[in-house]
Structure 1
Amino acid sequence: MAQHNELGEWGEQFAAEYLIKKGYEILERNYFYDRAEVDIIAKTNAGDSMVCVEVKTRNSDFFGDPQSFVSQGKIKLLVKAMDAYLMEHDISLETRFDVIAIIKNKSTEELTHFEDAFYHF
């Protein structure tokens, strides 16, 4: 497996563990719909809303912060996939879209959680 794939899988696991520690319930990982993939679908600790989480893991911020790699096209695909998930499971809760940005290398292991992330872009 390519090293960048291993880093991405590690980042998604790290993000899922972080969310669980924060009280989120992980409902789905790597949900695919059409051409879109949602890394993590979770329910908030209060259980009153859904969270669609895009995880971006990089080994440095040399080319930019990890969260800056979420394009407008990716946002459209996430919205489409999350809408399909909600309809498929007959869920009518409020939904927000978060980004978890991770930088992981030999000297750093840094996670930043952007709630309602699309407002940040």
Structure 2
Amino acid sequence: MAQHNTLGSDAEAFAADFLTTKHYTLLEKNYRHKHAEIDLIMEHRGLMVFVEVKFRSGTGFGYAEEFVDYKKRQLIIRAADHYIHEKDWHKDIRFDIVGVYKDKEGTIRFKHFEDAFY
């Protein structure tokens, strides 16, 4: 597995743990539908939350939320729509972004953007 794939998988695991400490319940990891993938699908306070996780080892090239462009959002929305129908979900949903940042000392930090897009 390429290093960027390992870093992405680690970031998703860190983000899932982070959200779990905030009382989110993990429903699915790496849900795929056609060309789209949803990193995490969580439930929180009656909402189904679709989470895009972005890892950054610094902010020199930009922040995590800047890397979820229009095309990526549309793919996530389509996959979420498929998942909602597959699970027969009739409650509210939300799309979040979790930025996972590693500082120079190796400390992992998080930036959680609730209701980041739709």
Normalising to structure 1: TM-score of the pair?
A: 0.92
> 2:81, 2:91 → 1: CA distance?
11
What letter is aligned with 1:75? Answer: R
> 2:85, 2:20 → 1: CA distance?
24
Contact 1:7 1:58 in 2 (8 A): no
What is the aligned-residue identity percentage?
45
Structure-2 residue corresponding to 1:34: 34
Q: List gaps (5 residues or longer) in structure 1.
A: none
Structure-2 residue corresponding to 1:111: 110
Structure-2 residue corresponding to 1:100: 98
What letter is aligned with 2:7? Answer: L
Question: Of 83, 86, 110, which residue of structure 2 is paired with 1:85?
Answer: 83
Moved over 2 A (4+): none
Deviations 1:64-96 (A, max 9, x none): 011110010000011000010010011111000
Counting only pairs closer than 5 Å after superposition, residues 12-31 of structure 1 correspond to structure 2 as: 12-31=12-31
> 1:26, 1:43 → 2: CA distance?
7
Secondary structure of the structure 2 residue equivalent to 1:118? coil
Q: How many residues align?
A: 117
The Cα of 1:58 is off from its aligned counterpart by 1.5
Structure-1 residue corresponding to 2:66: 68
Question: RMSD of the TM alignment (CA)?
Answer: 1.2
Normalising to structure 2: TM-score of the pair?
A: 0.94
Q: List gaps (5 residues or longer) in structure 2.
A: none
Secondary structure of the structure 2 residue equivalent to 1:75? helix
Question: Of 52, 55, 58, which residue of structure 2 is paired with 1:57?
Answer: 55
> 1:9, 1:104 → 2: CA distance?
14
